[in-house]
Amino acid sequence: MRYHLYRRPNKKTGAFWMDLRVNDCRYREPLGTTDRSEAHELMLKRIDHLKTKAPDPAKRGKSYGSMNVETGTKAYVQQRRAQVSPRMCAYWNDQSKPLAKHFGDLKLKNLTLEHINDYHSARLDQGKAPKTINGEVSVLRQLLKHAKLWYRFEDYKSIRNTKPPVGRALTAEEQQRLFEVAQSRETWLYAYTAAVLGAFCGMRGCEIKKLKWKDVDFAARVLDIRHSKTPAGWRAPTLNTVCKEALAALKAKAVLIHAASPEHFCFPSQLKGKIDATRPITSWRTAWRSLRTKAARNDEGEIIYPALEGLRFHDLRHTAVTVMAEAGLPDATIMAQVGHISPQMLKTYSHVRRLALNAAAAALEPTYIKPQIHAELVN
């Protein structure tokens, strides 16, 4: 922490003043003494008092108002990191990069609604999706609210997202093809097991990566998920036989490489061929892309399953929710298994497949109307 003791010029008293910054707020106050040693002691006492004092919103706004987006975000993340997850801090830093590039040295106190609308237009011209842009501006909104500067943007409206959801649900045939290929190579063991937990347990990728062996109860066939997208995702889903056997095979490999202690991660970090079970895996992207490409094509390289060509890992979770919804399970049961999902989000996750629609059409077909065999088709 930087501080400065000084005498103000053109003052007859010659008393010392202090100039310092505590909790991102600047304080310039007189100390009422001409003795430097006494002034230094008074300043240290004042610092201790200011550290325990709740920040003044007005001063906080003034402090953040003099920053640009880049420095303001760094200060905001530093101040909030004790209350949020590291993943959220990384999200704020990542989403603020295009904001900082666009607004440059423009101070937060000088931002206007027109600036944000111009940002919308610029990002749309770059081909960015409305959801992406709204996510970036939401970080700016949080920063301005923290700085007590958002009151000037009451008329702000986010960009309407007219794009349909990108999620999809695999058919039974597509799932069979995907997992047959995934089991064909031993090097795909981690990707295969992760895919099993995604498709047949409804887990998110972030939940799978943070899973530890202490969280797996093979006897009770239950997982204890305590690392999720939000605390609402904490749950204890039941493992079916496929998931249990996949994890058991992974545990057997973990025993061989001495990575099966309760505190070890089920999916350990692998860097330059070295396995560190005390750290979680960061990505299985390479194996997943190779796996899905192999599953989508035949031996001659022709695409035979187009839905698998660009399959996202998260689509496996969409498939799990869809299967449970088609089976007629109550919404509460689905949410208990895959984590809290709002009714609107449940609609997004659940993709009614063609087989179910065919059954619905058959159920609606009346028996008392005879088909007109001799009807002519008119183009």
CATH number at residue 323: 1.10.443.10
Q: What is the pLDDT of residue 154?
A: 85
Based on the domain organization, do 185 and 331 belong to the same domain? yes
Based on the domain organization, do 44 and 76 belong to the same domain? no
- Does residue 216 lie within any of the structural domains? yes
Based on the domain organization, do 324 and 347 belong to the same domain? yes
Q: What is the pLDDT of residue 182?
A: 95
Q: What is the pLDDT of residue 331?
A: 82
Distance CA 335, CA 316 (A): 16
Q: What is the pLDDT of residue 49?
A: 85
Distance CA 116, CA 111 (A): 8
Q: What is the pLDDT of residue 196?
A: 95
Q: What is the pLDDT of residue 61?
A: 54
Q: What is the pLDDT of residue 126?
A: 95
According to DSSP, the residues that pair with 223 across neighbouring strands are: 216
Q: What is the pLDDT of residue 241?
A: 94
Based on the domain organization, do 216 and 346 belong to the same domain? yes
Based on the domain organization, do 293 and 356 belong to the same domain? yes
Based on the domain organization, do 51 and 72 belong to the same domain? no
Domain span at residue 45 reads 3-55
| Structure tokens, 200 | 């047949």
**Total domains present in the chain:** 3
pLDDT in tens, the chain (379 residues): 677 888 876 566 788 888 887 766 778 888 888 888 998 899 999 888 888 876 555 555 567 888 999 999 999 999 898 888 887 898 999 999 999 999 999 999 999 999 999 999 999 999 998 989 999 999 999 999 998 889 889 889 999 887 766 678 899 999 999 999 999 999 999 999 999 999 999 999 999 999 999 999 999 999 999 888 777 788 999 999 999 999 999 999 999 999 999 999 999 998 888 999 999 999 999 999 999 999 999 999 999 999 999 999 999 999 998 888 888 888 888 888 988 777 766 776 666 666 676 777 777 776 766 666 554 555 4
Based on the domain organization, do 141 and 257 belong to the same domain? no
Based on the domain organization, do 338 and 219 belong to the same domain? yes
Q: Say if CB 29 and CB 17 are below 8 A apart.
A: yes
The phi-psi region of residue 274 (left if phi > 0; otherwise alpha if psi is between -120 and 50; otherwise beta) is beta
Q: What is the pLDDT of residue 334?
A: 85
Based on the domain organization, do 217 and 320 belong to the same domain? yes
Identity of residue 67: M
Long-range contacts of 153-160 (CB under 8 A, 24+ apart): 153/113, 153/116, 155/113, 156/113, 156/116, 158/130, 158/134, 159/120, 159/124, 159/130, 159/133, 159/134, 160/130
Q: What is the pLDDT of residue 354?
A: 66
Based on the domain organization, do 193 and 215 belong to the same domain? yes
Taken in order 197, 198, 203, 208, the sign of the CA dihedral is positive
* pTM, entire model: 0.66
Based on the domain organization, do 32 and 72 belong to the same domain? no
- Does residue 331 lie within any of the structural domains? yes
